[in-house]
């Protein structure tokens, strides 16, 4: 196994291309060179950025989900840091004047291969604003940590577009960040030469993160391990419920539970539903845990722990929906959907935003409706693969 060279590594090896440029840099704490140097520090040694841009969780990845971060000064370089995740939906796009004095915007964000992960929306909206401001856009690509072969889930219904579902793609999309930008650029009519992509050298679509020859760095506070990333395309659905998804513990998106539940009964029902659906790659065990913040903070929750056994067999999106159904089966009237605003949306249930449709929620009481919805995924996945074929960068 030979380590890959990311887009950042390739730019640093051809550093003359950025000398003399006035550029904005969109990155986060996982934007590291192969030597473990953060992108803004590595590039600062060649050509300092004019401005730094921070996505959700802040430039340094210190904020929890849905916590606004403010503008600041980078303590290491003194460069201004502009937040692209503030207190309202307008903050999600670069405001007028951010690119004044810039002729280039560089994007380097590690994605995790799931539609809900908000860095892709930030990257596309930033690139769009940059092009409108007359700037070039360079994308420093990184591998999809789940690999680039598998696609799973339903295409987003554009009536349910949001920050956690900004583009018409399945929940597990199989693309890299650069490929998402190329796809959205084509959809939006950007000039075909508007993006310059620094591809990942040495990565193949069949390779998940364990094969890229690099340690895992959390792109966000609740993505601490590679195991978390593999489960996230399904377990993120629990954000739309009153059930803790393990935030506030050391195992987010692996622990699920609520105070007072029957943990063995939940584990047993989860196993039954997964077996009936032919799902494997994980085991389910009863668990007790106490979140230190967010849902049920300070209370002991009873539920289950998901243990990843074989990522290659995992179908995480179907897994997540089946686990939702298992909890609903056991909890009955105590099962609840989130009612608070979700990522700046107040008038659409969070589960509809994550599912990309209201079909799942409405179909729960409709006999075989959910099974018919599952069956519709095949056509969605086929259509998405066909649309993406011309933007795929890696064999």
Beta bridge partners of 342: 345
Q: Homologous superfamily of 7-221+385-391 in CATH?
A: Uncharacterised protein PF07075, DUF1343 (3.40.50.12170)
pLDDT of 171-224, one tens digit each?
999 999 999 999 999 999 999 899 999 999 999 999 999 999 999 999 999 999
Question: How high is the pLDDT of residue 2?
Answer: 62
Domain ranges of the chain: 7-221+385-391, 226-357
pLDDT of 24-59, one tens digit each?
999 999 999 999 999 999 999 999 999 999 999 999
Q: Which fold is adopted by the domain 226-357?
A: 3.90.1150
Query: CA 336 to CA 333: how far, in whole Å?
Result: 8
Contact 23, 89 (CB under 8 A): no
pLDDT of 88-139, one tens digit each?
999 999 999 999 999 999 999 999 999 999 999 999 999 999 999 999 999 9
Give percent of the chain with pLDDT exceeding 70: 99
Enter the pTM of the model.
0.97
The helix-helix angle for 226-235 and 316-331 (nearest 10°) equals: 60
Fold agreement (7-221+385-391, 226-357):
no
Overall residue count recorded for the chain in this entry? 395
Residue 294 CB neighbours (<10 A): 18
pLDDT of 254-273, one tens digit each?
999 999 999 999 999 999 99
Element (H, E) at 271: helix 263-276
User: Does position 1 have pLDDT exceeding 60, yes or no?
Assistant: no
- Nearby residues of 106 by Cβ (< 8 Å), 6 or more positions away: 11, 18, 23, 24, 25, 26, 27, 43, 49, 137, 138, 140
Q: Look at residue 107 and give its three-state secondary structure.
A: strand
Q: Look at residue 52 and give its three-state secondary structure.
A: strand
């Amino acid at each position: 196994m030979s380590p890959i060279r990311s887009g950042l590594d390739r730019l640093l090896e051809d550093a003359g291309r950025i000398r003399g440029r006035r550029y904005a840099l969109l990155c986060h704490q996982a934007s590291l060179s192969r030597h473990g140097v953060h992108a803004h520090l590595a590039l600062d040694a060649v050509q300092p950025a004019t401005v730094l841009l921070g996505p959700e969780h802040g430039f340094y990845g210190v904020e929890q989900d849905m916590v606004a971060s403010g503008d600041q000064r980078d303590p290491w370089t003194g460069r201004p840091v502009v937040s692209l995740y503030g207190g309202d939906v307008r903050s999600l796009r670069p405001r007028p004047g951010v690119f004044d004095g810039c002729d280039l915007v560089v994007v380097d964000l590690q994605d995790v291969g799931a539609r809900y992960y908000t860095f892709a929306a930030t990257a596309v909206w930033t690139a769009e604003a940059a092009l409108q401001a007359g700037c070039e856009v360079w994308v420093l690509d990184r591998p999809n940590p789940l690999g680039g072969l598998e696609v799973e889930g339903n295409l987003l219904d554009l009536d349910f577009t949001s920050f956690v579902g900004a583009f018409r793609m399945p929940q597990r999309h199989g693309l890299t960040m650069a490929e998402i930008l190329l796809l959205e650029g084509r959809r939006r009519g950007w000039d075909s030469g508007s993006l310059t992509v620094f591809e990942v050298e040495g990565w193949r679509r069949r390779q998940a993160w364990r094969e890229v020859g690099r340690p895992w760095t959390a792109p966000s506070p609740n993505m601490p391990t590679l195991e978390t990333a593999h489960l996230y395309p399904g377990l993120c659905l629990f954000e739309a419920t009153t059930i803790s998804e393990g935030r506030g513990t050391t195992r987010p998106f692996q622990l699920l539970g609520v105070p007072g539940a029957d943990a063995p009964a939940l584990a047993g029902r989860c196993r039954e539903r997964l077996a009936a659906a032919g799902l494997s790659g994980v085991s389910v065990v009863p668990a007790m845990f106490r979140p230190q913040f967010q849902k049920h903070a300070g209370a002991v929750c009873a539920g289950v722990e998901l243990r990843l056994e074989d990522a290659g067999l995992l179908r995480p999106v179907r897994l997540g929906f089946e686990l939702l159904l298992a909890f609903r089966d056991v909890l009955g009237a105590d099962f609840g959907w989130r009612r608070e605003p979700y990522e700046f949306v107040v008038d659409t249930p969070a589960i509809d935003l994550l599912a990309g449709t209201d079909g799942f929620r409405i179909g729960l009481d409709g006999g075989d409706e959910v099974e018919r919805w599952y069956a519709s995924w095949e056509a969605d996945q086929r259509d998405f693969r066909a649309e993406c074929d011309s933007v795929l960068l890696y064999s």
